[in-house]
């Protein structure tokens, strides 16, 4: 099968890129940090898609060469280079130094390498020695005596100065029981070395505050043993597995309802392509429902996680997990029966390593169906006749581990034309040392000597809209009371919709108390029933956006996080809300530049950027591992179709669904049944 223009980067394309760039750079040693496919120019892609959609046998598709981009350093030194390569024709299109101070993302191997270097460095070893942990033992009830070991957790350095122009790492140091499953986040240490991460040079040793303000800094002292808070069953003292959970098996005896052909998925009227990439993890292209175009491209494009602990050096804790690392680079390999149930289709991801070789990360995306209750239901009470349909969903899932945290990204498609974007935050809180008796109003104590600071998660999604065609418009609708005591509103109960058109690029303010609803409409496509333009709405929960001051680096670097819904006109290479390069960035080179109000976005090629925000003050239930917090928004038809597009979904019945009565099931399983089983509504005799 020939490659599709959106298919993920191939091994051979990474190799071609590497070879061409090595050839170009002579004797220098190239240190790659990212090589991936670049989308084709949109206009060419649209022509390709239009031909493909109406293709008669034998019609050739337009030729579009496949392109890659590469970020790399020479001899592990600044500057960072960026190259574009035509891998179809073996040709370097462009290769240039990035502007002074531009720092690229890191590969997992870069992290491991600097971690290893830090753990070997004499100054760090000297600090570790002061802990005097060699002689300490922890007596574990079932595992016996366990020693301790030290763990290094390198963090993006962040920014607090215009002079931070070399690639740095702030290493947070932890101790843990000497066991592979031990939770090091339970014992944060009080020293934090800073290293250059390309050269592995020691820069300085920071000492961490552990009191109510940043003055409480002290030298490294011998470790005073405290109980650790463990998450693994092997290590939890007195662990007893919870009883009573019986298997719940999702079986699909006739196979899945979706069809997969390469990156193309078809399911219940939906058609789209699902393609992995290193930075975003996954992107969804060319989305149609019931034969009508909705979106050209959908992806989560950035997430920033600023911490609100004001004490240095914590003020620099602000990850940009996509720009600094990449959700694809950090993606988990998903496993059958763990990450989703039923009949599962997995997709792999290919990224590069530091030498420019392809690395296969298997099964970073899983796709499956799930049942989620009722789709619609109506009973005519006059005759008892009922229509009931069940809600089947198609889920695209990918999971990134970014050191302590896990992010579960779910794109959920329903049978009625709606998409739910659902993010689950799980994993482990990033923790800090805390002195006995210290209670602050910016962090939560989560265990002995350990605290977790308030922080935020701010995710940007990018929807390149294509509702019924290439020209779309963004509006927002408010719902407001009518003027009181007027002829039209005698009883003072009237309310109406007030529509505002977004004329120029920019953002829309939140307004939950007028039920403000963001909509993408097509002014050229009128719904014959409503007589108004067709549209889709974005139903976003009203949320606190980034809390830091506009004078802080946190905000300067992530202006996108100040607003919930942005609108820009489509331009090539405007993909990432905080800009292309976020690591130690001095400012936001993304949305705030592209959506600056200078361009008309009415009835044109429009892109919308929802920001999903969560203010996260930790609670004890979130340690030592946190139950998923849910964040989600809906993208749903708003008078796009002339009627419910799911009227053709088959009605529910038990021949198909094969559910059973509790009492019968318990009996079949040899269990005692409830005493009321004989008087239930099935009319069975009690004999």
Q: Which residues are catalytic?
A: 321, 405
Q: What is the DSSP string of 478-499?
A: EEEEPPTTSGGGTTS--EEEEE
Block residue for tokens 């939890």: 236
Among 68-76, 275-283, 374-382, 500-508, which window interacts with its own copies (CB under 8 A)?
374-382
Contacting residue, 130, 660, 678, 684, with its own copies by CB under 8 A: 660
Residue 163 makes contact with its own copies by CB under 8 A: no
Which listed range, 51-59, 124-132, 375-383, 583-591, lies at the site for its own copies (CB under 8 A)? 375-383
44 binds its own copies (CB under 8 A): no
* Beta partners for residue 452, in sequence order: 431, 444
In this chain, which of 59, 251, 685, 686 binds its own copies, going by CB under 8 A? 251
When asked if residue 386 is in the footprint of its own copies (CB under 8 A), the reply is yes
Q: Is 161 in the site for its own copies (CB under 8 A)?
A: no
**How far apart are CB 17 and its own copies at their closest, in Å?**
22
Q: Is residue 370 a contact point for its own copies (CB under 8 A)?
A: yes
Q: How far is the CB of 600 from its own copies (least distance, A)?
A: 26
Q: Is 149 in the site for its own copies (CB under 8 A)?
A: no
581 and 589 in contact (C-beta within 8 Å)?
A: yes
Greatest CA separation for the chain:
90
Residues in the chain: 687
Quick one: 73 or 405, whose CB is closer to its own copies? Answer: 405
* Residue 489 neighbours by CB under 8 Å, 6+ apart: 482, 483
253 contributes a contact to its own copies by CB under 8 A: yes
Binds its own copies by CB under 8 A, chosen from 410, 473, 562, 574: 410
- Torsion sign, CA atoms 652, 655, 659, 662: positive
The whole-angstrom separation of Cα 355 and Cα 663 is: 62
Q: Residue 588, SS3?
A: coil
CA distances (Å), 451 to each of 26, 429, 565, 674, in order?
A: 51, 9, 33, 46
Is 687 exposed, middle or buried (CB count within 10 Å of its CB: 0-12, 13-18, 19+)? exposed
Angle between helices 108-120 and 122-130 (to 10 degrees): 70
Among 78, 103, 236, 502, binds its own copies (CB under 8 A): 236
* The token pair that represents 273 in the structure block: 């392509």
DSSP letter at 642 equals S
Question: Could you give the C-alpha distances from 289 to 194, 415, 681, in angstroms and in order?
Answer: 51, 9, 41
Binding of its own copies by 54 (CB under 8 A) = no
Q: Does 401 bind its own copies (CB under 8 A)?
A: yes
Smaller CB distance to its own copies: residue 369 or 470? 369
Q: Which of residues 465-484 bind its own copies (CB under 8 A)?
A: 477, 479-482, 484
C-alpha dist (Å) from residue 263 to 2, 586, 624: 11, 37, 38
Q: Which residue has the tokens 């050096």?
A: 313
Sheet (strand 67-74) strand order: 30-38, 67-74, 77-86, 91-97
DSSP bridge pairs for 260: 265
Q: Could you say whether residue 586 binds its own copies (CB under 8 A)?
A: no
| Selected binder of its own copies within 151, 166, 217, 359 (CB under 8 A) | 151
The Cα–Cα gap between 588 and 560 comes to: 8
- Burial classification of residue 65, based on how many CB atoms lie within 10 Å of its CB (0-12 exposed, 13-18 middle, 19 or more buried): middle
Query: Which residue from 24, 64, 92, 256 is in contact with its own copies, where contact means CB under 8 A?
Result: 256
226 lies in the site for its own copies, by CB under 8 A? no
Q: Does position 380 bind its own copies by CB under 8 A? A: yes
Question: Can you tell me the distance from the alpha carbon of 538 to that of 630, in angstroms, rounded to the nearest whole number?
Answer: 17
User: Interface residues for its own copies in 523-562 (CB under 8 A)?
Assistant: 527, 529-532, 541-545, 547-549, 551-554
Please tell me whether residue 25 binds its own copies under the rule CB under 8 A: no
* b/e per residue 569-591 (b: at least 16 CB within 10 A): bbeeebbbbbbbbbbbbbbbbbb
Contacts of 472 (CB under 8 A, 6+ apart): 465, 466, 520, 521, 522, 603, 604, 605, 606
Interface with its own copies includes 143 (CB under 8 A)?
Answer: no
Q: Report helix, strand or coil for 408.
A: strand
SS3 string of 507-536?
Answer: EECCCHHHCCEEEEEEEEEECCCCCCEEEE
Q: Which is nearer to its own copies, 142 or 497 (CB)?
A: 497
Q: Are 561 and 546 in contact (CB under 8 A)?
A: yes
Least CB distance to its own copies at residue 89 (A): 26
- One character per residue 102-141, x = contact with its own copies (rule: CB under 8 A): ------x---------------------------------
Footprint (CB under 8 A) of its own copies, residues 324-353: 330, 332-333, 335-346, 348
Considering only the stretches 26-34, 196-204, 496-504, 586-594, report the one whose residues sit in contact with its own copies under the rule CB under 8 A.
496-504
- Tell the smallest beta-carbon distance from residue 46 to its own copies (Å): 26
Interacting span for its own copies (CB under 8 A) from 18-26, 237-245, 273-281, 468-476: 237-245
Site size for its own copies, by CB under 8 A?
199
Q: Choose which of 363, 430, 584, 606 interacts with its own copies (CB under 8 A).
A: 363
Interaction of residue 390 with its own copies, rule CB under 8 A: yes
Segment lying near its own copies (by CB under 8 A), choices 137-145, 200-208, 234-242, 351-359: 234-242
Give the range of 89-97, 489-497, 585-593, 594-602 binding its own copies by CB under 8 A: 489-497
By rule CB under 8 A, what string of x and - marks binding of each residue 618-647 to its own copies?
-xxxxxxxxxx-------xxxxxxxxxxxx
User: CB of residue 558 vs its own copies: minimum separation in angstroms?
Assistant: 11
Which tokens in the block code for residue 383?
């005759």
| Per CB under 8 A, 10 contacts its own copies | no
Q: Which stretch binds its own copies (CB under 8 A): 9-17, 53-61, 225-233, 350-358?
A: 225-233
Smaller CB distance to its own copies: residue 98 or 149?
A: 149
- When binding is defined by CB under 8 A, the residue of 257, 500, 598, 678 that contacts its own copies is 257
- Distance, CA of 491 to CA of 481 (rounded, Å): 12
Evaluate whether 401 touches 426 at the Cβ level (below 8 Å): no
Only segment of 74-82, 190-198, 273-281, 381-389 that touches its own copies (CB under 8 A)? 381-389
- C-beta closer to its own copies: residue 351 or 424: 424
Is residue 436 close enough to count as binding its own copies by CB under 8 A?
Answer: no
Under rule CB under 8 A, which residues in 262-301 are in contact with its own copies?
A: 262, 267-269
- Rg of the chain over Cα atoms, rounded to whole angstroms, equals 28
Residues 456 and 434: their CA atoms lie apart, in Å, by 21
N-term to C-term CA, the chain: 64
CB-wise, 146 or 416, nearer to its own copies? 416
CB of 41 vs its own copies, minimal distance in Å: 27
């Amino acid at each position: 099968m020939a490659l599709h223009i959106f298919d993920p980067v191939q091994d051979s394309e990474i190799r071609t890129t590497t070879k061409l760039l090595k050839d170009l750079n002579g004797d220098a040693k190239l240190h790659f940090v990212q090589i991936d496919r670049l989308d084709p120019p949109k206009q060419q892609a649209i022509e390709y898609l239009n031909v493909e959609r109406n293709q008669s046998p034998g019609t050739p598709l337009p030729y579009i060469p496949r392109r890659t981009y590469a970020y790399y350093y020479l001899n592990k030194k600044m500057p960072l280079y960026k190259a574009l390569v035509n891998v179809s024709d073996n040709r370097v299109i462009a290769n240039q130094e990035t502007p002074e101070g531009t720092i690229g993302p890191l590969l997992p191997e870069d992290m491991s390498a600097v971690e290893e270097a830090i753990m070997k460095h004499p100054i760090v070893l000297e600090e570790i020695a002061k802990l005097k942990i060699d002689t300490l033992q922890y007596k574990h009830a079932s595992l016996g005596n366990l020693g301790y070991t030290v763990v290094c957790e390198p963090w993006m350095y962040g920014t607090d100065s215009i002079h931070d122009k070399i690639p740095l790492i702030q290493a947070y140091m932890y101790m843990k029981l000497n066991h592979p499953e031990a939770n090091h986040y339970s014992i944060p240490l009080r020293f934090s070395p800073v290293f250059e991460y390309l050269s592995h040079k020691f820069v300085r040793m920071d000492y961490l505050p552990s009191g109510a303000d940043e003055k409480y800094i002290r030298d490294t002292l011998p470790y005073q043993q405290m109980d650790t808070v463990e998450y693994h069953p092997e290590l939890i003292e007195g662990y007893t597995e919870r009883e009573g959970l019986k298997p719940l098996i999702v079986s699909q005896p006739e196979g899945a309802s979706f069809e997969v052909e390469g990156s193309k998925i078809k399911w219940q009227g939906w058609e789209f392509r699902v393609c992995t990439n290193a930075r975003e993890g996954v992107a969804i292209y060319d989305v149609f429902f019931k034969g009508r175009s909705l979106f050209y491209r959908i992806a989560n494009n950035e997430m920033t996680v600023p911490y609100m602990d004001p004490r240095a050096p914590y003020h620099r804790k602000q990850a940009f997990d996509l720009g600094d690392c990449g959700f694809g680079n950090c993606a988990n390999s998903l496993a059958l029966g763990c990450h989703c149930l039923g009949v599962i289709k997995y997709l792999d991801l290919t990224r590069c390593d530091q030498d420019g070789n392809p690395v296969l990360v298997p099964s970073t995306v899983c796709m499956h169906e799930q049942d989620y209750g009722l789709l619609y239901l109506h009973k005519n009470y006059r005759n008892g006749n009922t229509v009931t349909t069940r809600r089947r969903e198609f889920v695209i899932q990918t999971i990134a581990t970014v050191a302590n945290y896990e992010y579960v990204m779910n794109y959920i498609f329903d049978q009625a034309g709606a998409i739910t974007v659902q993010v689950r935050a799980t994993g482990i809180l990033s923790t800090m040392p805390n002195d006995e008796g210290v209670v602050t109003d910016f962090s939560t104590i989560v265990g002995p000597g350990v605290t977790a600071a308030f922080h935020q998660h701010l995710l940007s999604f990018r929807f390149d809209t294509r509702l019924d065609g290439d020209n779309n418009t963004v509006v927002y609708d408010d719902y407001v009371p009518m003027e009181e005591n007027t002829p039209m509103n005698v009883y003072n109960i009237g309310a109406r919709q007030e529509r505002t058109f977004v004329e120029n690029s920019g953002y829309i303010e939140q307004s939950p108390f007028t039920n403000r609803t963001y909509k993408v409409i097509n002014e050229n496509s009128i719904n014959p029933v409503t007589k108004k333009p067709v549209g889709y709405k974005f139903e976003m929960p009203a949320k606190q956006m980034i809390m830091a001051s506009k004078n802080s680096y946190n905000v300067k670097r992530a202006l996108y996080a100040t607003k919930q819904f942005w609108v820009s006109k489509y331009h090539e290479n405007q993909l990432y809300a905080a800009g292309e390069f976020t690591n130690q960035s001095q400012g936001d080179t993304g949305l705030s530049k592209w959506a600056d109000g200078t361009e008309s976005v009415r009835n044109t090629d429009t892109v919308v950027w929802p920001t999903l925000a969560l203010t996260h003050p930790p609670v004890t239930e979130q340690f030592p591992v946190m139950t998923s917090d849910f964040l989600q928004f809906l993208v749903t038809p708003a008078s796009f179709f002339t009627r419910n597009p799911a009227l053709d979904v088959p009605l529910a019945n038990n021949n198909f669904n094969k559910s059973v009565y509790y009492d019968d099931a318990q009996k079949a399983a040899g269990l005692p049944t409830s005493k009321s089983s004989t008087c239930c509504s099935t009319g069975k005799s009690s004999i």
